[in-house]
Amino acid sequence: MSEVTYTEAEIEKIKDRILEALEMVIDPELGIDIVNLGLIYDIRFEQDGSTEIDMTLTTIGCPLADLLTDQIHDAMKEVPEVTKTEVKLVWTPAWSVEK
């Protein structure tokens, strides 16, 4: 089986589709999707389809971390190029309502 090689432009389109899929993940406390809420800080998509998503939460110790992570994994099933997803919680910069 030959390995697929994506161009930079294709990777950017895939990352756009990843963001669109992440818009389906709604913060249940605020009723806003995690993209427009500003919780997604970075997306890294590799040639093998593995994807790392840096995200934060509205508060440290947020009880919804596991729920949101599970929903992110479910949303990534909508992007066929994504073969594996790792969600990394980051706290810098701190999230604020202005983001």
pLDDT digits (tens, 9 = 90+) for 16-68: 999 999 999 999 999 999 999 999 999 999 999 999 999 999 988 888 899 99
58 within domain boundaries? yes
Residue 17's CATH number: 3.30.300.130
Report yes or no on 94 lying in a domain.
no
pLDDT of residue 60: 86
> Is the bond preceding 93 in cis, omega lying within 30 degrees of 0?
yes
Does residue 84 lie within any of the structural domains? yes
Strand spans (E) along the chain: 26-27, 32-33, 40-45, 50-55, 84-89
CA distance 99 to 40: 11
Domain containing 82 equals 8-89
Say if 95 falls within a structural domain: no
Q: How many domains does the chain have?
A: 1
Tell if the pTM clears 0.75, that is, is over it. yes
Domain membership of residue 2 (yes or no) is: no
| 86 three-state secondary structure | strand
Give a yes or no: residue 1 inside a domain.
Answer: no
pLDDT at 3: 74
